[in-house]
Amino acid sequence: MRLPIYMDHNATTPVDPRVVETMLPCFSEHFGNAASRTHPYGWAASKLVENARSSLAAAIGAHTEEIVFTSGATESNNLAIKGLALALKGRREHLVTCATEHKAVLDPTAALAKEGFATTVLPVDGRGRLDLERLTNALTPATALVSVMLANNETGTVHPIAAIAEACREHGIALHCDATQAVGKVAVDVNGLGIDLMSFSAHKIYGPKGVGALYVRRRKPRLHLVPILDGGGHEQGIRSGTLNVPGAVGFARALEIALAQMAAESARLAALRDRLECAVTSRLEGVTVNGDAENRIPNTLNLSFAGVDGAALLVGLKEVAVASGSACTSADPRPSHVLMAMGRSKELANASVRFSLGRGNTTEEVDVVADAVVREVERLRANSPLWRK
């Protein structure tokens, strides 16, 4: 057993060897610039990118021309939110999002607020779910975009995206969905769900870092985005920059593998997650399971331990690599904004640990991790003035 045991797959995943094998020719044999249209090296690179684009589109029920390659989900989120907002500036200048969104959605929304856009950040319930009636009441004739993630990166909670999309469609409002934690783990069909813009990334599904994609609906309605990068007019003029050919190829292969084994792997991970949850909660008092038990992605478990300092717990868990929240905010000493929005106290939010399981995890590892968590929580509580039975 390799220590520490890796249970931080929502932060990133190791690249699958089959993905690496598919990418390798792109670094040597097919090294051309996909934008070079005057010689075979460019043509070969362009063909690889277009094949990857078609594969990604098919995986989410989109058309090939609706996939825009980016550097990752953060750029995709920024392009979707800022690009549509700027395209509708002067006509619709109101944005709606959710308090538990990733910072890659909340920060671009806040940046637009500084430029004069009206913004509404909706609260969630104790499970981390939006209230549909509250969402509908927030929509106005000035609303340009609603941005709600499909699955939360910290708790795994899945929002009712199809119902949210229906409410948006009735008001003629576009829906953007950050599906970074969902694609490859649960079935995602952009037309079936009614999504107009969707961000996703390769490195969450055993693909390479540095490549992502944005789905942009081109039919019924056809959306127009203002680019946030200028310099060459690549990707249908939406996203300039030399295309990451190896990244695109690896992304497509990673998603192909993920979909091929999704049903079996999701069931396996859900069983491991439930085993870990039961092993910890049955042996410890004062444990809160954060998220929606009935509507969450299969690999994610977020637990808060009353009477325990979360930072001390993470330091003490030497046998396991886990996180207290999003990897993008791990250097932030403040409590998780996701858990605070769900109504957790500052103390409980600070005492949370996110376990996100992946392909390499086994039953044996889950049992070792559960033992380590119970041992360390009991040790910390024995010396903590915060813990009183």
Positions annotated as catalytic residues are 328
CA distance 147 to 131: 14
- Token pair, residue 295, equals 């509507």
Using alpha carbons only, give the angle 140, 131, 120 rounded to the nearest 5 degrees: 40
Closest Cα partner for 227 from 87, 113, 111? 87
Confirm if 168 and 193 have CB atoms less than 8 A apart. no
CA distance 148 to 285: 34
Q: Which residue has the tokens 């985005």?
A: 225
Report cis status (omega within 30 of 0) of the bond before 227: no
User: Which runs of consecutive H residues, i.e. helices, occur in the chain?
Assistant: 17-23, 40-60, 73-87, 103-114, 132-138, 161-170, 190-193, 245-260, 262-281, 310-316, 337-341, 346-350, 363-382
Sign of CA dihedral 378, 382, 387, 388: positive
- Exposed / middle / buried, residue 36 (Cβ in 10 Å: 0-12, 13-18, 19+): middle
Cβ neighbours of residue 286 closer than 8 Å, sequence gap 6 or more: 305, 306, 307, 387
Phi and psi at 73, nearest 5°, equal: -65, -35
- Token pair, residue 94, equals 């109101």
Confirm if 9 and 301 have CB atoms less than 8 A apart. no
Grouping H, G, I as helix, E, B as strand and the rest as coil, residue 162 is helix
Cα pseudo-dihedral 279, 280, 282, 288, rounded to 10: -140
Confirm if 234 and 240 have CB atoms less than 8 A apart. yes
CA distance 24 to 6: 26
Q: What is the CB neighbour count within 10 angstroms for residue 329?
A: 18
Sort strands 300-305 and 5-6 into parallel, antiparallel or unpaired.
unpaired
